[in-house]
Structures are given as C-alpha cells and as structure tokens.
A and B are shown apart, each in its own frame.
Chain A
C-alpha cells in the first residue's frame, strides 16, 4: 500500500459520505412527498429534510442532567460515521467500492449492527425511562432481523460457491453474478422470496413503520431519541439518511446490479455511459427504497415488539430458508434433462 492509494481512499471516503448524506436527504424528501400523496395529503417539499437538518443544527444542543455526557454525545457521531463506512464497501452503480477487495458481505452484516448499537448506547446513556425502553426494544429488534438477513446472504453466497465463483461472499462477486442468472423457474421463485425477505428486513434496519417500536413517538415519545435535540439529533437524522442509502445500495447490488449504458448503445467506459449508469443506479435505488420504505410505512400500522420478533423469527426466517431450499432444488434439477425443457428457459 503506498501513499497515493491511501490518499485516494481518503478522498473517496469523503466523497462517498457526502454522496450518501445528499442522496439520503433527497430520498427522505421524496419519501415524505410520496407518502403524503398516498394519504391524499400535499406533504412537504422535497428539500424539506435539508431545512430540517439546518434547523436542528441551529437549535440548542441540550444534554440532560441524568445523561452519561460523553457517551450521549459520541453516540450520534459513531452512528453517522459507521453508516458512512458501509457505503465504502458497496458499488454505487458503475463506481466500484472505495474499499473494493477489502471487505465482504459478512463484514457488511456486522457493520449494519453498529449504527443500531450507537443508537442503543445513546438511548441508555440518556438517563430517561422512555429512552431506556426504546433502547431495549432496538436490541430485541436487532436480534430478530439478523436471522433472516443472514439466511438471505448465505443463500446467495452458497449459489455462487456452487458455480465455482471465486470469493462468493465478495459484494463485487455478488454484483457481477446476479442471483437470477443460471436459474430455472424454482430458482427464480426462490430468489424472488429472498428479495421479498430483504425488502421486509429493510424497514426494520431503518426503524421505519411498522417496525419503529424503538422510537414509537405516540407511545414512548421518540424512545431512544427522546432526549436528543439540536445538532446531536441532526447527526442521528443524517445517519438515518445515509443508512437508508446503504440498505438501498445493498438491495440493488444483490438483486438489480445491471447497468443501462450497454442497452442504449453507449460505449463502455465513456463519460456518457458512466453518467447514464449513475442515473440508472439512482433510479433503481429510489425505486427499491420506495417499495421497501415508503409503501410499507404508509400501508401498515406499527407492530408491537413481540409481534416484530415473531414476524422475523417465524414467517420471515422460514420464508428465507424456503427460498434457499428452492434454489438448491433448482440447481439439482438443472442437471436432469426434462427440467430445463419443461420449467426452465429463463
């Protein structure tokens, strides 16, 4: 590793983090407008989240007298920084990850826990009963959605491994070999089930309705964020925006990694092709987030914490494992003569 590599990694990290913050806030604005329209309201303007952050940063940064002050103040910083770090391992359309080849999707599973743990730490450090209840719920929720999430990841890596793809847990390998490829009808159905599972895991990762029991404004007045205000709350707001982009980019990398430049006849590697692919990536990103965040949070009411646990441990885990079983059957049947003729052709 030379100095130039390190310098490029540092510059790349800064740019990617600013990308995540900007487009995370843009999506929040779009999400609020679309959710409002689905409820026959006008809603705010798309730029409202930027104004919200500006206003939070101009308000007093109150630290409660019961709080563990250093922990209370450092939790938002860790939350935003750890959310941004995950973007360094994800391909952003045609742009390779900043830390490509230096971390796989297992690392991503671990990193996904850190922003939630930062919120839990901040909640417990608040010295408030509401925040403590919210932090406890967040911990329980983390234990719940990890199982189906891990089942999805293992299923995908297993398939790549069967096909002899090097580094099956590498996100770049996963994005280069979409799970839909080399599949018969059972494999397509199995992959679609895994997609649905990951779409339902996403709102829990982001603490969105119906999985927002840790915050639950109408019940525990914001839960683990109850005592936060000013710039600390603003930083948590930005962390949520960045993590939203992380989850969207992960969904796109696993299930919809294709570009559009080749289809419209742009020369590979040209500026036009890169611009088209970035625009297409953002379109895919906002579409998967629209389904997994906006539609779900607008369509459902909040679940109780025990209902959340049951949802992830029973139906979703079984669904993820069933998706894996279908993919295994599909690969076994592909070797039999009649299967590709009767049910294949995909």
Chain B
C-alpha cells in the first residue's frame, strides 16, 4: 500500500485514511447487523419513561446529575494529594508570589550546586 499516506510520529506511525476506511466498513457492517433487530416501540407510553426504581420522576431539570460530580471518585481517591494542593490556592497574590520566589530559589540553588560541583 502507499507508504506516503502513513504519518510518521518519530517512533510511531499510523495511516488515518485506512483507519477511516476500516471504521466505515465496520460501521456499515454494524448497521447491517442492527437492521435485523426489532425497530419499533410504543412511543409516548409508560415504557419510554426513565427507569427510577419505581420512584416518580420529578422536575426534569432537577433530575440531572450535575457535572461537578464527574470527578468525585478521582478526587476522593487522591485526596491525599488534592487536599493540601487545594489548600495552597488561597486566592491571595502575595501567597502565590512567595511560592514563585521559593521555587525559583530552590531551582537556582540546585543549578548553582550543579555548576560548583
């Protein structure tokens, strides 16, 4: 096949055109398989209501799970890292400048030691 269609990424490589060709072929095949399935359902009946374990649906706007919850599991698992990090974000510019100068001092110190050695 034509190597000029292959994109080199240094160590890696891929051919987007063939990836898309493969994806299109697979999508067509999936649609053919899907066409064998039952298409119908009873629109506007009880079966199209969301399943809420028997509870009545409240206001639709209030039923959404807020996006702020997305990373709960992630933040909970890594709270040992996030809690002090969030605490360091005081919103006070003076604190940020102290961090900035402190980190710069450490980096310069390391460079200085490296040069002297």
Contact = CB atoms under 8 A, between A and B. Distances in A.
B38 A307 contact: no
Contacts of A17: 26, 29
Residue among B1, B18, B22, B71 having the largest count of chain A Cβ atoms under 10 Å: B22
A61 B25 contact: no
Contact of A169 (B11, B47, B60): B11
B25 A130 contact: no
Q: Identify the 3 closest CB pairs spanning chains A and B, nearest first.
A: A231-B37, A305-B73, A309-B77
A140 B73 contact: yes
Contacts of A238: 33
A257 to B, nearest CB: 20
Residue among B6, B52, B63, B77 having the largest count of chain A Cβ atoms under 10 Å: B77
A343 interface: no
B49 interface: yes
Contacts of A299: none
Interface string A93-112: 00000110111101100000
A10 to B, nearest CB: 5
Given A57-B36, A136-B69, A140-B71, A82 B23 contact: yes
B28 to A, nearest CB: 9
Given A99-B18, A102-B14, A234 B37 contact: yes
Given A98-B22, A102-B6, A102-B14, A59 B38 contact: yes
Contacts of B52: 128-130
Interface in A61-115: 61-66, 76-78, 80-82, 84-85, 88, 98-99, 101-104, 106-107
Interface residues of A, number: 72
Contact of A235 (B14, B33, B65): B33
20 contacts: A1-B1, A57-B37, A58-B37, A60-B40, A61-B40, A63-B41, A65-B48, A66-B63, A82-B23, A99-B22, A106-B9, A132-B65, A136-B72, A140-B71, A167-B11, A221-B53, A230-B38, A235-B34, A307-B77, A313-B78
Interface in A169-205: 169-170
Interface of B: 1-2, 5-6, 9, 11-15, 18-19, 21-23, 25-27, 29-31, 33-34, 36-42, 44, 47-53, 60, 63-65, 69-74, 76-78
B68 to A, nearest CB: 10
Nearest to A308: B73
A198 to B, nearest CB: 19
A132 B62 CA distance: 13
Nearest to A62: B41
Nearest to A131: B50
B1 A140 contact: no
Interface of A: 1, 5-6, 9-10, 13-14, 17, 56-66, 76-78, 80-82, 84-85, 88, 98-99, 101-104, 106-107, 126-130, 132-133, 136-137, 139-140, 143-144, 157, 161, 167-170, 213, 221, 226-227, 230-231, 234-235, 238, 304-310, 313
A102 B15 contact: yes
Nearest to A220: B53
A235 to B, nearest CB: 6
B60 A66 contact: yes
Contacts of A61: 37-41
